[in-house]
Every structure is written in C-alpha cells, then in structure tokens.
Structure 1
C-alpha cells in the first residue's frame, strides 16, 4: 500500500503513460513556467544540467510548489549521493549508467532502510519527513520510493531480467544515445543493430514486470510518444528547457529576418538527448 505522497509512482503503477520534460537550466522560474505550461512532471538533471546535486534538490521546492512532480537524476550512484537526495525529499530518483545487476542491487540497498537495505537513518531531522512531522516514515518510505535505473550499455541487456527481480528497482530507463555509443554508433540511436538490442531490453523488462522509461529524441531521431507507449514504455521524457528556449528564439529571429528581408544562415540543430 502507498501513502499517496508519490503521485508519479501511483500514476505509473495504475498503468498511465506519463510524459515529462527535462529541466536543465536550473532556474526555479523556468521550473515553475514549465509546470504551469502543462509539464507536470520534470526531470531535474543533476548529471548534465546546470544545477549540481544541492541546487537540484532545492529546485524540488519550485516544482512541487507549482503543483508538479519531480524526478531527480543524480550525478552518480554513490551511497552518499543517494542518501543525500532521499533525505532532502526526493521520492523519484533516476540513476545513470547502471550497467550490471550487482550495481542495481547496491543502489537499491543504499536507498532502502533495514531490513530491506542499508540506508542511513536520520528521519527525524530531514526534509523527507517534513522535518520530523511524518511519523512512521521509515516504515513506509520504500512504498513511495521510485527508482529508475538507466540502461545505457549493450552489456546490460543480459542483466535486465536479474535487475527486474531486485526489490526497490522499479524501472529500466533506456538511454538510447549512450546505448548506441556503447555499440560504436554514437549519435545513431536509430541504427538497426542498436534498435534490435533495445528491443531485447523491452522484451526482457516487459516479461519480467519491470516498468520501462526512455526519451523521444524530440528534436532529432527517435520514436514518437505513441510508438513508445505501444512498445510498453510508461514513462516518456520529451523536450528539454534548453531546446524549447532555443527553438522559440530561433523561430522568433527567423520571423524578424523574414519580415525585414534579411538573409539568415542555416540554423544549428536543436539541443536534444
């Protein structure tokens, strides 16, 4: 049973296809703007985005204050990083580069209190418990925790079934660009060999009851929301704030140049994962 605090996990468990946007620029104003514009789930990117872990965790307030749900993509899978994120109130965590079942098992252990794991205890004094105002938090924290393990290497394909059986790991989040790079097809995630291996991940995860997440490749190659939904993905991350701003800026400049009869150079491709 869930206590109802993690609405994103509840939606996914209910079978809803949830769409989200990447949040890279680290501005609380941008976070609010995105949520108020309809992107009610944001992935705060502390791996590649402007905000480091501490700044990213502070941005939870902006997302939640605007009525949204946040996923924190942590910069690494260390015990200290994960403990810090959880204590500061992250309920949904995306962990990059989870290449093996052994690594996934360690991640789950770091995130779960005993007897399920070895998460360090400081419940009465952290933001996750509303500063000690959530009695019984330690006993139910695992119910509200959503861990997305990023599958980003071809060698992980053989590990997906075992990863699916690890308590605490809820989702295989496929990172197709790094996955393609691991097969020597950098920036060619639509290569037939890459697609074939990713389809193996999809089949293995689906058969094992592991939820699936990925990206669309909104401004470049990739599959559409409907294609991904039909392939079994319940969590689909589309645009990022950098791409949205850059796209709007370029379109506005092009319109101004057109009206003034000015020549413009060829636009660079929009930023995309």
Structure 2
C-alpha cells in the first residue's frame, strides 16, 4: 500500500521537497511540476494537524506521495497523525534507542505496541475499508523515520538504528552540528565523521538512510552514498527565488 516504502525497498533514492506553508495549492503545484514526494514540515512549518491533512489530500490528488514530519513524538500526537491517514512519518530529535523504541511502540497496535484502537472509523484505515488494518496491515504500511540530530543520538546510534519498528534514520545536519558546537559549520571534519558513523551503523542494522542536501552533500553525493530519502528545496525557497528573479528583471526595465 505504501508506495514510498516499496520504492525504498527496491533500492531507489527518493528525492523530495518540503512543504512549509500549509498551502494545498503550493503543494499541488510542486507535485505537478516534478516533485512527486512532498514532506510536510509540521516541526518548523505552518499549521496544525488538520492543515496537514488538507495539504496531504492535495498532494495525493495530484498523484504525489506524502511524508509528514511531526513537531514531536508524543503518544497522543502520533496516534492522531496515524488515525488521520499519515503512514510515512519523520519524528525529530530522537536521541536514544529508548526514545526510538517508545516512538515505535506508540505507532503500532498491540501486541507490537500500544497505539490506541479506533481502526474501523479512522481515515488511516480508509474508514474501515483496508482489510486487516488493525491486525497487521497498519504496521506493514508504516514507514517510521527517526531523526538523528544530536551528539547523544550519534553516541547511541547502533542501538537506535537497530530498534524494532524503526525503518529509517534521517540525519539532521544543522541541529547535529549545533549539538557539537559547530552550528553553521557544515563542512567541519568532526561533523562529517559523525555522519559517517551514523551511516555505517544504520547500514549495519539493515535500515534506510535519509537526510537533506547541503554543503558537500549534493543530490549526486548522497545518492552515491546510498541514501534512500533525500529532501532538498521547499515552497518558501521557491517563492523567494522566483520573487528575487522577477524583481531583478524588473529593475532592469
């Protein structure tokens, strides 16, 4: 059911863009112009859960795939997000294997976890139309991505990546750099050594890798390193770039 998960399993590097503005029109425009995977940014972007659902519907209607980055990993929020139909989820600031296990437990029904049950009446089950949703399909469909963006997570990365129920480790370079006293020093050797440590441990655990583009981390570089999910530009940056270019052109007239 989860086409994004199937693409990752096939060995593809999936390339995506961020949706920050909670605008269904902007997200649809991005899909229709080549960005078929959109990550809705619930951590730093605009809006709440029902805004994200509206954006997701626009993306899906245009033929795209949706990932949601939640603002935090509480049981209550994860339950609501899953019930409302999100099945590819990024959880930020997961700093230990214990945190990862708790998040995985919140996302899966018993006996695998402790997700609260309302399977027949939620959007996640197609309002009761997905066979076996509560007894296994939901867990199989879920793509659970945890963000490694702190030095504490790097220190515990082997156990964190090996956590049952975690499918991908997503490196957040900027926050990881900040936790190491290297904020905005994204080419620092110590930071790249941490990247390599996370990459090696995640591969050894048999899990997928994800991250964002940045200095020394181009689409080609990250594809060559075997990253499964790479997220680059966002709707705000597209608007800024277009506005600047148009203003510069107008100033010539």
Q: TM-score, normalised by structure 2?
A: 0.97
Secondary structure of 1:19's match?
A: strand
* Matching of residue 251 in structure 1 with residue 248 in structure 2: no
Q: Deviations over 1:195-225 (max 9, x none)?
A: 11111111111122111000002xxx24111
How far 1:230 sits from its partner (Å)? 1.4
**Where does the alignment leave 5 or more consecutive residues of structure 1 unmatched?**
261-273
Contact 1:190 1:222 in 2 (8 A): yes
Q: Which of the residues 214, 221, 225 maps onto 2:219?
A: 225
- Higher RCO (C-alpha 8 Å, min separation 6): 2
Secondary structure of 1:76's match?
A: coil
Residue matched to 2:209: 212
Q: Deviations over 1:68-90 (max 9, x none)?
A: 01001001100000000000000
Secondary structure of 1:233's match?
A: coil
**Where does the alignment leave 5 or more consecutive residues of structure 2 unmatched?**
none
Q: Which of the residues 105, 118, 122 maps onto 1:122?
A: 118
Give distance in 1, aligned partners of 2:66 and 2:157: 25
Q: Which of the residues 176, 179, 202 maps onto 2:176?
A: 179
Secondary structure of 1:157's match?
A: helix
Contact 1:214 1:235 in 2 (8 A): yes
Secondary structure of 2:156's match?
A: helix
Give distance in 2, aligned partners of 1:133 and 1:18: 28
How far 1:160 sits from its partner (Å)? 1.7
Contact 1:202 1:232 in 2 (8 A): no
Q: Which of the residues 16, 35, 39 maps onto 2:35?
A: 39
How far 1:58 sits from its partner (Å)? 2.7
Give distance in 2, aligned partners of 1:119 and 1:228: 34
Q: Which of the residues 195, 198, 201 maps onto 2:195?
A: 198
Equivalenced residue count is 252
Contact 2:153 2:160 in 1 (8 A): no
Give distance in 1, aligned partners of 2:243 and 2:80: 37
Give distance in 2, aligned partners of 1:66 and 1:181: 37
Residue matched to 1:168: 165
Give distance in 2, aligned partners of 1:56 and 1:241: 14
